[in-house]
Every structure is written in C-alpha cells, then in structure tokens.
Amino acid sequence: MIKPIDPNSMNQTAASKPAVEKPALDRRALDRRALDRRVALVTGGIGGLGSEICRQLALAGREVVAVDLAARGERAAAFHEEVASFGGSIRFEPADVSDFDSCQQLIARIEQQHGSVDILVNAAGITRDASLRKMSPQQWHELMRVNLDGVFNMCRNVVDGMTERGFGRIVNISSVNGQTGQFGQTNYSAAKAGVHGFSMALARETARKGVTVNTVSPGYCDTPMVAAVSAEIRAQIIADIPVGRLGAPADIARAVKFLAADDAGYITGANLPVNGGYFMSF
C-alpha cells in the first residue's frame, strides 16, 4: 500500500523552504489573449450537429454565430431558448450556404459587426438518399449545392480575411460515408469525399498564413438525419459499430473544438474520424 506523505516528515520545514519562484506575469501575453477573442461561425448552426458545435465553442470562450436557413423559423425559436443561458455569446444569422451572394453578404455583415471571422465550421449538410438507378438529377444537384458548393461559398468568402490577419481555423464536416461509400448515397458519399479533397488543397494554400483547414468525419450520430434512415437499416448499422451505439453530437463537437483551438496550428489537411470504430484506417 502506498503511504500518504506526511508533510511534517519531509526534510525541509515550511519555514526553511526556499520560496517558490513564481514566473513573472506576462502582461503582454495576457493582453494578447484578451485581443484574441475569436469569432466562430458555424453553418448548419441550428441543426443536429451544428447546434452542439455552437455550444461547445461558446463554452471554449468563442463568440459564436450560428448560421442556418431563415426558413427554419420554428427550429430557430427553439434554438434561441436552448442557448439563452449563454448570455449572448451565441447568436443566429440567416443565410443560404448554397448561394454564393448570400454567403458573401453574411461574411461582410459579420466582419463589420465583429471585426473578423476567425473560425469557420461548415456543418450544413443534407441527404437525398436513393440508389443511383432511382436518383434524379434534382436529388444529385440539390445535395451538391448544399454539401459541396456550400463549403466553397463559405471558404471563398472567409479566406482573404483569415490570411490577411494571419490566423484562421476551418473545420469542414465530412462523413464516414465519404470514406467508405454507402448504398443509396452516391451523391452524399461523393460530396463528402470531395469536402476532404477540397480541405487538403486549401490547407496547402493557406498553411504559411496561419490558417489551418481540416475535416472531421462523423460516423452515424443521434441526429434527425440518421433518424430518417429506416429502422431496419439503422439497427443493422448500429450492430456494426464497435462502440455499440450511435455517436452523440457532443462526440463530434469535441473534435471540432480541438481542431479549432489556437494551439492546433500544426494540424492541417487532416481528417479526424469520430465514428465509434465503424471504419478504421491508417
């Protein structure tokens, strides 16, 4: 058994102990930290994963702007109630990520109000599941416009400001189904694989400017998107997850928060899988 240490039995008494030298307070570092109040923008911000990402970033001290479609009025009202306790550090801005002009105006508004967009999380995403033989061009294009064009539209409008200021964190939400392909998801799998290709290319372009670009690839999570899959298929999927459960939105948000941190500057062009072991690779 390990004996507890008796402080009186130690060689030096408290009185004779040399005073522990405290490192001098670095005032300039503290001032810099105060100036470093980062503004984070989360698309799909009131959705299944996005709303939890907003909460986790706010808990990490970020000023968060949740971006989502203006049309999601009821959900927006519920979201306002959910985040009321965050004392104004999470607010909502309407925009359509599939529309370049809408994104341009959004970024201009936020930069004017907050001074910058320092962290961008692209979490807006939809499914239009159908086997390819049954997939309409509309199902293909609708999905591409949100899941892939949306990432371009947002990144294109924040990248100049981030590189000029010499700091940025971009986290794009990809998917395990972009890594493996999923029956009934040629559109979604293509877009999500595309999101990671896009992120690696942009990571190279911005690496010298203090801007990192990474993806997080969630597995099947407890969200309305996954709830829409038939119960039979969902049960089969859960049976194949080594951890034995769906992911929680907080599991994903924690990974996003990690990559969005100021001191995550040496991780770029990476994909962080958060899938309960559903797909393992090296």
Structure tokens at 242: 């080594």
What letter represents residue 84's amino acid?
A
Q: Decide: is 63 part of the binding site for ligand CAA (CB under 6 A).
A: no
Q: Could you give the 3-state DSSP secondary structure of residue 223?
A: coil
Q: Decide: is 53 part of the binding site for ligand CAA (CB under 6 A).
A: no
Give buried/exposed letters for 34-43 (b at 16+ CB in 10 A, else e): eeeebbbbbb
**Contact region with ligand CAA (CB under 6 A), list: 30-38, 48-56, 99-107, 173-181:** 173-181
Q: Decide: is 56 part of the binding site for ligand CAA (CB under 6 A).
A: no
Q: Decide: is 158 part of the binding site for ligand CAA (CB under 6 A).
A: no
**Catalytic residue (one of 188, 220, 266, 278):** 188
Nearer to ligand CAA, 68 or 129 (CB): 129
Q: How many CB atoms lie within 10 A of CB 234?
A: 15
**Contact region with ligand CAA (CB under 6 A), list: 46-54, 70-78, 106-114, 179-187:** 179-187
Nearer to ligand CAA, 77 or 132 (CB): 132
Q: Decide: is 188 part of the binding site for ligand CAA (CB under 6 A).
A: yes
Pick one of 108, 233, 235, 243: the residue that binds ligand CAA (CB under 6 A): 233
* 220 in catalytic set: no
d(CA 1, CA 20): 31
d(CA 61, CA 81): 20
Pick one of 110, 176, 253, 256: the residue that binds ligand CAA (CB under 6 A): 176
Are the C-beta atoms of 223 and 250 separated by less than 8 Å? Answer: no
Strands of 36-192, DSSP E: 39-43, 63-68, 90-94, 119-122, 168-173
Binding footprint of ligand CAA on the chain (CB under 6 A):
127, 129-131, 133-134, 175-177, 182-185, 188, 218, 220, 225-226, 229-230, 233
